[in-house]
Amino acid sequence: MAELTLIEAVRAALARALEDDPSVVVLGEDVGLDGGVFRATDGLWQRFGERRVRDTPLSEAAIAGVAVGLAAQGFRPVAEIQFQGFIHPALDQIANHAARLRNRTRGRLTCPMVLRAPYGAGVHAPEHHSESIEAVFAHIPGLRVVIPSSPARAYGLLLAAIRDPDPVVFFEPKRLYRAGKETVTDDGTALPLDTAFVAREGRDLTLVGWGAALKECREAAETLAGEGVEAEIVDVATLKPYDAETVLGSVRRTGRCVIAHEAPRTGGFGAEIAARVAEDALDVLRAPIRRVTAPDTIPPLPRLEHLYLPSAGQIAQAAREVVAWR
Amino acid sequence: MAELTLIEAVRAALARALEDDPSVVVLGEDVGLDGGVFRATDGLWQRFGERRVRDTPLSEAAIAGVAVGLAAQGFRPVAEIQFQGFIHPALDQIANHAARLRNRTRGRLTCPMVLRAPYGAGVHAPEHHSESIEAVFAHIPGLRVVIPSSPARAYGLLLAAIRDPDPVVFFEPKRLYRAGKETVTDDGTALPLDTAFVAREGRDLTLVGWGAALKECREAAETLAGEGVEAEIVDVATLKPYDAETVLGSVRRTGRCVIAHEAPRTGGFGAEIAARVAEDALDVLRAPIRRVTAPDTIPPLPRLEHLYLPSAGQIAQAAREVVAWR
Amino acid sequence: MAKTPPGTERTVARFEIRARGYLTAEGEPRGALPSFAEDRDQLVRLHAAMTRTRAFDQKAVALQRTGRLGTFASSLGQEAVSVGLAAAMRPEDVLVPSFREQGAQLWRGVRMEELLLYWGGDERGSDFADPAVRQDFPVCVPVGTQYPHAVGVALAFTLRGEARVAVVAGGDGSTSRGDFHEALNMAGVWRLPVVFVINNNQWAISVPLDRQTAAQTLAQKAIGAGLPGEQVDGCDVIAVRDAVGRAVERARAGEGPSLIECVTYRLSDHTTADDATRYREDREVSRHWAGEPLKRLRAHLGRAHGWTKEEEEELRARIHAEVEAAAERYLAIPPQLAASIVAHIHAHLPPDLEAVRARLAEGGDG
Amino acid sequence: MAKTPPGTERTVARFEIRARGYLTAEGEPRGALPSFAEDRDQLVRLHAAMTRTRAFDQKAVALQRTGRLGTFASSLGQEAVSVGLAAAMRPEDVLVPSFREQGAQLWRGVRMEELLLYWGGDERGSDFADPAVRQDFPVCVPVGTQYPHAVGVALAFTLRGEARVAVVAGGDGSTSRGDFHEALNMAGVWRLPVVFVINNNQWAISVPLDRQTAAQTLAQKAIGAGLPGEQVDGCDVIAVRDAVGRAVERARAGEGPSLIECVTYRLSDHTTADDATRYREDREVSRHWAGEPLKRLRAHLGRAHGWTKEEEEELRARIHAEVEAAAERYLAIPPQLAASIVAHIHAHLPPDLEAVRARLAEGGDG
Ligand SMILES: Cc1ncc(C[n+]2csc(CCOP(=O)(O)OP(=O)(O)O)c2C)c(N)n1
Ligand SMILES: Cc1ncc(C[n+]2csc(CCOP(=O)(O)OP(=O)(O)O)c2C)c(N)n1
Ligand SMILES: [Mg+2]
Ligand SMILES: [Mg+2]
């Protein structure tokens, strides 16, 4: 048991996986001696050697494609893409190969690989370093999409992702990498990969979010609590497969749903969540669903990124509106 | 005025654009002498020359990236990606450059390019030839996403896309390429790029679809009409920017909404449409929203693809259920 | 700072691309043959495999023309590439094909009816039954994406300390794809046991080689990754078998990756969906029939090893029967279960898909 | 069939990579200099530009360290590359930079305060005011993605019949990206007026060159695309200016694209967010200070052209003042309007975004 930051929890999970399973191989740009630009792999190269913790050339497509080959051979590659904004060249290999290999071969070849990437804005990073494009991946059949929101979740979900027999993309909220510590028991216990978590209980409305946005959801819930409004927060840590039941269960109790995400609104994963509620829980909805998201624009450069990210204030305001509805 | 198939309408629009505007350049694999694998560019090479109708090497990333460079110089490249399933390598250039150039430079450089690609299943094509991933593009800020559903729409929308000052992806329903003819007046008149079309009027429910799925929507509407149910069909030809008002207006009249698309359900663009209705027209909804889509799986190889595509029967059944609700 | 010695200019690297060929277009040896090619049995095996590949292709095209197969890519005129490369591999090696290596797949143990099933539109065709090929990759349609897979497979071999080699194949067009270069480069850095075989059949659908690249050879594409590259006459199965064999054994010995360009010509349309008369002259095609690989080896076999007309006829009859029987088996394979469209997408189906599966299993639609 | 003449083996292509350098690390000419380098004024201009680039970098790093700039990539030790390539271009040519070519950008007319604004986190920094650079591309962060843009720009020049050239720059790491190879190859097929300049500073963040590629030189990466590739001492601005100049003029004359590898060393951290002591020895860095480009040219200027200490001091003082004034201007630039986060995403804002824009313009949040 230790108090860890999110990035330390990622590192602990990687170390645990490397330790427990000789088929685990970590690869990516600067993951070796440098320990990753965010230090996710700090010390792993020294501990597990350059064969299993492997610096790659600057080739995102090949990183993903090589992972497919390794995985087809029974290895469990855990590849790092340095920032989510640079994952696009890997998309072909992810969508057209990793996610399909099992289906294409009726299970003869499989692809137990993980692609990790830090995502999201709010750390004053340079251009192309603030993306939040999880929705793109959640639309790819055959892929799992996981986004932890805390150190303990990061640890348990990453272990689960590595052990899963199918490809998983694992997006880490870089804004939370060092935002706080949480008790993490490094005993190799994985979390379920298909379960949303109720992060806070409340009767008046359901706040749905994931990753870094959970922070603003929590802050909004605190504010609202001061106003006598109790928000239930559901952390959709596994976007795909999406655990509709947990969200629906909560909405059935509260009758109201506000969804928050960092990604641009149109086609964000919030749309899927809203659609599922509108399909399956319309009868209990006492107010329109509200999405609090970034606008449909590119993440601004640092000076104005605060205007882009959905704020706790905006979430609280949306919550007030749905609670006051009619 | 002529009776044209959809592919002929595409070709007529390309020819018109090349004729009218010397800055238009057509490029892609096999678009030259061969006239494109679907013959979209048949005869254009002969008529406009190899400088303006240009075979490229087999390099999707560079096709998109070169188009960005051309567009930044004031040309209007119209690039063909041979099948939508091969567009992934171009995504980096589309999302990280084409869609951003105006924003990144505050309008100093712009990117008036079009990327055309045939999409969709149902033509017994080989593996990776049946994709329908429009939702991925509709989530990219700065991009326009257009999908015609008929020859006349193809003609007018493609001209509009080519004339638009910003990048547009234009996905052509290959299943409809030769499925029927329509009167097309080749007079250079473009259609609006931000307007959904009411393809059929009806009072009982709103059927929302685009591209090839419009065919099944129409068939379903015919069946339903025989049962006394009048479906209004909205063709969301421009997914992005999404014309919410036309859909909402229809749903406000009918109180019921069924959305049909070929893409896998989770994170498909149907989710966005459902979310918008649930946000903005909840009060008028008399039944849950229903999505009729492909399941969350890879388009099957030809023998079973009919089980994958949403059928007119499924759409009609969903319509009956929402009409009979409560 | 560059470590430039005195003098303003000097040569820092030199490369040359060597080309090999053993048989002329007429099947005459140009010189001494590699030792395996002195062995009649080995040559007969190569000849039989090429004949079998051609017969298979013909049958597949015929099935397509009569509506019993989907789009199909014949390897007409390029049989020496896929047969030669497969003959150079050991069973425990892994093949990562593109979509025109049926010759290699058949040699290694993929069944004809499996290939037909795949091209006939049924995923089970990629679930190869023979244990010898269960690690081989299936056909790869997105051009060039197969190369990194082979690098990953080779890395797996290295990590496990196995003396196995990954062999990956692709066309001239595929060398314009970024994946190809990223894979070559990564294989080079890690000195992995992988052999890249390029079937330069002069065309990528309608795009001829000189519109595909300004490089004089495709073999020289290895240079940028620091790999050895070599060109062979791809219509000479002896040359292909020899060059790939040397490359495979170098790789197996830990001496790293290499690239072999096999110069061939696509005598058929690109696929059954293509009409090559739209973009190339019949004359050009006819000209290339002269050096086609089967005739060439047969001529040599006849002259040097007394291969008789009777043997040839017996072989053809045997293969004809084999292909017909495979086609029968293919046509008799019962359809896949409806539920199979979702059953294999994850190891553990989430509830939504489980529901779809159940509905399909009950005969409902998706 | 390959047109193989008699004999089983022959050489079909030969390549060599030549390297050039005019000044030794100590600034001694190795031989005759290119003619422009006989002209004191031209050398002084190059020297001034490199000095200016270094001063700018230092100021930017200082601003970052004091919280007034975001992450910044210094070009310390590599000033000769960006200055040399810019000096070889004409104003009407187009520069497509990566993120370490501030020397080239400043030379061509981008203002210091614009670069600071960009790295300070404000998009207006890429809206270059000087008409001379309004067609230049902005900094490119996704490594390697800039290469195809330059090919497109060059194609535009060709289509319009303009005698202009696109010059694109990138690092050693960027040569591992597929985009680089696709761009090289397409430029080769179409013989476009584009020059690829590689700043081989030996490191891609923490990945040293020998883990990046097995190629002995990066210049040889041109061979696979059929382009000429050449290596120069990238710490010798005369060599860079000369080689890029020849390449640019070849391109302008319609003789096609080429690649110049400039061998340098990254004396700084990768960016201000990096700590290079984690992965490389101080000793290695110190060693490379010996040949750094400014000292080298200054020594030559002194010896061959009587460049005095006074002139040097006067130059430095002038540049210091210029940089300080630019920093002041940068710091005084009023913030962008809130609404700007959506205002430039489309030429015509759709209603949703128009509403966001209006809300932001009224001081509300997005
Ligand atoms: C990435 C990608 N782009 C386009 C296609 C469509 N396509 C299929 S084969 C082919 C040409 C391939 O040429 P080459 O690599 O020379 O192989 P060959 O067909 O000649 O064997 C093209 C363009 C594809 N399958 N994948
Ligand atoms: C596609 C992509 N992958 C990763 C990164 C993160 N990154 C930024 S610079 C860099 C190294 C670049 O090395 P090199 O090309 O040698 O240029 P240098 O920084 O040395 O000038 C990396 C990995 C990126 N910006 N883009
Ligand atoms: Mg070919
Ligand atoms: Mg570098």
Q: Is A97 one of the catalytic residues? A: no
Q: DSSP label at B113?
A: -
Q: Which chain C residues have a beta carbon less than 8 Å from that of B305?
A: 121
Ordered by start, the domain boundaries in chain C are 33-335, 337-366
- Ligand 2: which atom is nearest the Cα of residue A128? 25
**How would you write chain A as a 3-class SS string?**
CEEECHHHHHHHHHHHHHHHCCCEEEEECCCCCCCCCCCCCCCHHHHHCCCCEEECCCCHHHHHHHHHHHHHCCCEEEEECCCHHHCHHHHHHHHHHHCCHHHHCCCCCCCCCEEEEEECCCCCCCCCCCCCCHHHHHCCCCCEEECCCCHHHHHHHHHHHHHCCCCEEEEEEHHHCCCCCEEECCCCCCCCCCCCEEEECCCCEEEEECCCHHHHHHHHHHHHHHCCCCEEEEECCEEECCCHHHHHHHHHHHCCEEEEEEEECCCCHHHHHHHHHHHHCHHHCCCCCEEEEECCCCCCCHHHHHHHCCCHHHHHHHHHHHHCCC
Of D145, D151, D351, the CB nearest to B96: D145
- Ligand 2: which atom is nearest the Cα of residue D78? 21
A36 and A147 housed in the same domain: yes
Question: Which of A55, A84, A86 has the most ligand 2 atoms within 8 A of CB, as the residue to mutate?
Answer: A86
Report d(CA C226, CA C228) in Å as an integer.
Answer: 7
SS3 B293: strand
Report d(CA D99, CA C267) in Å as an integer.
Answer: 48
B178 and B207 housed in the same domain: no
In a domain, A190, yes or no: no
pLDDT score of A147: 98
**CB atoms closer than 10 angstroms to residue B51:** 11
- Ligand 2: which atom is nearest the Cα of residue B92? 1
A293 and A144 housed in the same domain: no
A74 and A142 housed in the same domain: yes
Q: Number of structural domains, chain A?
A: 2
B202 and B142 housed in the same domain: no
Region C80-85: mean pLDDT is: 98
Residue-number span of the structural domain to which B173 is assigned: 2-184
CB-side exposure of D324: number of CA atoms within 13 Å? 6
In a domain, B192, yes or no: no
Q: Which chain D residues have a beta carbon less than 8 Å from that of A296?
A: 342, 345, 352-353
D212 touches ligand 2 (CB under 6 Å): no
A164 and A118 housed in the same domain: yes
Q: Six-digit token pair at A306?
A: 């605060």
Report d(CA A218, CA A207) in Å as an integer.
Answer: 9
pLDDT tens figures, A94-137: 999 999 999 999 999 999 999 999 999 999 999 999 999 999 99
A83 touches chain B (CB under 8 A): no
Q: How far is CA C4 from CA B177, C240, D245, D267, in A?
A: 61, 41, 20, 19
pLDDT tops 50 at residue B313? yes
- Domain final residue, candidates A125, A150, A184: A184
- Per the CB < 8 A criterion, the answer to whether A63 and A90 are in contact is yes
Q: Identity (one letter) of the amino acid at A235?
A: D
pLDDT tens figures, B174-222: 999 999 999 999 999 999 999 999 999 999 999 999 999 999 999 999 9
pLDDT score of D7: 77
The answer to whether D96 contacts B107, with C-beta atoms less than 8 Å apart, is no
- Per the CB < 8 A criterion, the answer to whether A65 and C147 are in contact is yes
A228 and A290 housed in the same domain: yes
B21 and B161 housed in the same domain: yes
- Ligand 1 mean position, distance from CA A232 (Å): 52
**DSSP alpha helices (H): ranges in C161-230?**
178-189, 209-212
pLDDT score of A326: 76
Instruction: Point out the least confidently predicted range of A304-313, C274-283, D4-13, D187-196.
Output: D4-13
Looking at chain A, the whole-number percentage of residues with pLDDT higher than 90 is 99
pLDDT score of D365: 55
* Ligand found nearest the CA of D269: 2
A212 and A160 housed in the same domain: no
Across the beta sheet with A24-28, the strand order is A53-55, A24-28, A76-80, A114-119, A168-173, A144-146, A238-240
Of D141, D211, D336, the CB nearest to A127: D141
Mean pLDDT score of chain B, rounded to an integer? 97
B77 and B216 housed in the same domain: no
ipTM topping 0.85: yes
Pocket-forming residues, ligand 1, beta carbon under 6 Å: B 29, 58, 60, 82, 86; C 100, 141-143, 170-174, 199, 201, 203-205, 266, 270
Q: Identity (one letter) of the amino acid at B254?
A: T
The answer to whether D152 contacts B72, with C-beta atoms less than 8 Å apart, is yes
Q: Please say whether the dihedral angle defined by the alpha carbons of residues C153, C158, C161 and C165, taken in this order, is positive or negative.
A: positive
- Ligand 2 mean position, distance from CA A26 (Å): 19
- Ligand 1: which atom is nearest the Cα of residue C142? 26
Chain C closest-CA separation from residue A57 CA (Å): 7
In a domain, B189, yes or no: no
Residue for token digits 């591209």?
B211
Q: Identity (one letter) of the amino acid at A254?
A: T
- Domain final residue, candidates A184, A209, A244: A184
Report d(CA C198, CA C244) in Å as an integer.
Answer: 11
Mean pLDDT score of chain A, rounded to an integer? 97
A135 and A43 housed in the same domain: yes
Closest CA to A28 of D237, D205, B270, B144: D205
pLDDT tops 90 at residue C364? no
- Domain final residue, candidates A155, A184, A213: A184
Instruction: Point out the least confidently predicted range of A197-201, A203-207, B147-151, D3-7.
Output: D3-7
pLDDT band for position C6 (50/70/90)?
low
Region C311-331: mean pLDDT is: 98
The answer to whether C176 contacts B58, with C-beta atoms less than 8 Å apart, is yes
B10 and B152 housed in the same domain: yes
D234 touches ligand 2 (CB under 6 Å): no
Homologous superfamily of domain range C33-335: Thiamin diphosphate (ThDP)-binding fold, Pyr/PP domains (3.40.50.970)
**How would you write chain D as a 3-class SS string?**
CCCCCCCCEEEEEEEEEEEECCECCCCCECCCCCHHHHCHHHHHHHHHHHHHHHHHHHHHHHHHHCCCCCCCCCCCCCHHHHHHHHHCCCCCCEEECCCCCHHHHHHHCCCHHHHHHHHCCCHHHHCCCCHHHCCCCCCCCCCCCHHHHHHHHHHHHHHHCCCCCEEEEEECHHHHCHHHHHHHHHHHHCCCCEEEEEEECCEECCEEHHHHCCCCCCHHHHHHHCCCEEEEECCCHHHHHHHHHHHHHHHHCCCCCEEEEEECCCCCCCCCCCCHHHCCCHHHHHHHHCCCHHHHHHHHHHHHHCCCHHHHHHHHHHHHHHHHHHHHHHHHCCCCCCCHHHHCCCCCCCHHHHHHHHHHHCCCCC
Q: DSSP label at B232?
A: E
Report d(CA A233, CA C35) in Å as an integer.
Answer: 74
In a domain, A66, yes or no: yes
- Tell me the CATH number at B106: 3.40.50.970
pLDDT score of D14: 98
pLDDT tops 70 at residue B89? yes
What are chain B's partners, defined as 3 or more CB pairs within 8 angstroms? Answer: A, C, D
Maximum Cα–Cα distance across chain C:
82
Of B33, B303, B314, the CB nearest to C206: B33
Of D152, D178, D347, the CB nearest to B68: D152
Chain C closest-CA separation from residue D76 CA (Å): 12
Q: Which chain D residues have a beta carbon less than 8 Å from that of B66?
A: 148-149, 151-152, 155, 183, 186
pLDDT tens figures, C199-221: 999 999 999 999 999 999 999 99
pLDDT tens figures, B233-276: 999 999 999 999 999 999 999 999 999 999 999 999 999 999 99
pLDDT score of D363: 82
Residue for token digits 């630039």?
D333
In a domain, A106, yes or no: yes
Q: Residue A24: beta bridge partners?
A: A76
Which parts of chain D have pLDDT scores under 70?
1-6, 364-366
- Tell me the CATH number at A288: 3.40.50.920
